[in-house]
């Protein structure tokens, strides 16, 4: 597995080795021991999967301490722009965002450490996203940041006037007003 740093501490791109032939392909999408040998501690306890159509933007979501989550994101079908915002107050990249295209074709994965808000926009007709979390979902600790916060200036690569966004996500506060205990 190839592991690439992103310039944000702990935020990593993972590229599994893919064995392809006339039958299709095989890859190991997760191996705790491989990550441990690379110095990465990630112990997932929950798997999530979502399906969305082109134009959907989900996020930016996170959970407060003590239920913050690290996540390993991969796309099973389609293509997304995956976006994270660093909420760790002591981080050199606090308040900055990072985006990367993840697709079922390229098979890259994004390992997001605790202390980041996460979201994505669907770039293909449909997309199925699977992600492992190292802490359980706790609705009372879930928070969000406005997708269109001008201080962040995220380019979602989607026409915002035609974007499909949940009512809940439309009510999220700007970054400066978001509850943050990281």
Confidence band for 164, pLDDT divided at 50, 70 and 90? very high
Give me the mean pLDDT over the 64-75 stretch.
98
Closest to 9 in 3D by CA, of 73, 108, 94:
94
Give me the mean pLDDT over the 66-94 stretch.
98
Give me the mean pLDDT over the 66-76 stretch.
98
3 state DSSP class of 136: coil
Residue 178 DSSP class: S
How high does pLDDT run on average in the chain? 97
* Residue of 25, 62, 118, 131 marked catalytic: 131
Give me the mean pLDDT over the 132-143 stretch.
98
What is the tens place of the pLDDT at every residue in 142-151? Answer: 999 999 999 9
The structural domains of the chain, ordered by start, are: 2-177 (2.60.120.10)
Compute the radius of gyration of the chain from its Cα atoms: 16
Give me the mean pLDDT over the 10-19 stretch.
97
The verdict on whether 131 is a catalytic residue reads: yes
| Positive or negative torsion for Cα 148, 151, 156, 157 | positive
Percent of the chain with pLDDT over 90: 99
What is the tens place of the pLDDT at every residue in 16-36? Answer: 999 999 999 999 999 999 999
The verdict on whether 136 is a catalytic residue reads: no
Give me the mean pLDDT over the 98-124 stretch.
98
Confidence band for 160, pLDDT divided at 50, 70 and 90? confident
* Residue of 61, 62, 118, 141 marked catalytic: 61
């Amino acid at each position: 597995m190839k592991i690439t740093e992103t310039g944000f501490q702990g935020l990593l791109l993972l590229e599994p080795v893919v064995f392809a032939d006339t039958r299709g392909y095989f890859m190991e999408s997760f191996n705790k021991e491989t990550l441990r040998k690379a110095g990465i501690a990630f112990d997932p306890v929950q798997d999530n999967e979502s399906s969305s159509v082109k134009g959907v933007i989900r996020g930016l979501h996170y959970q407060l301490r003590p239920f913050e989550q690290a996540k390993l994101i991969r796309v099973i079908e389609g293509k997304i722009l995956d976006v994270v915002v660093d909420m760790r107050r002591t981080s050199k990249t606090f308040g900055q965002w990072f985006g990367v295209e993840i697709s079922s074709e390229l098979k890259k994965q994004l390992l997001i450490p605790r202390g980041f808000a996460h979201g994505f926009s669907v770039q293909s007709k449909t997309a199925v996203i699977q992600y492992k979390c190292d802490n359980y979902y706790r609705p009372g600790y879930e928070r969000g940041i406005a997708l269109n916060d001008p201080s962040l200036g995220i380019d979602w690569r989607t026409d915002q006037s035609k974007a499909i966004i949940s009512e809940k996500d439309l009510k999220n506060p700007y970054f400066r007003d978001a509850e943050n205990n990281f």
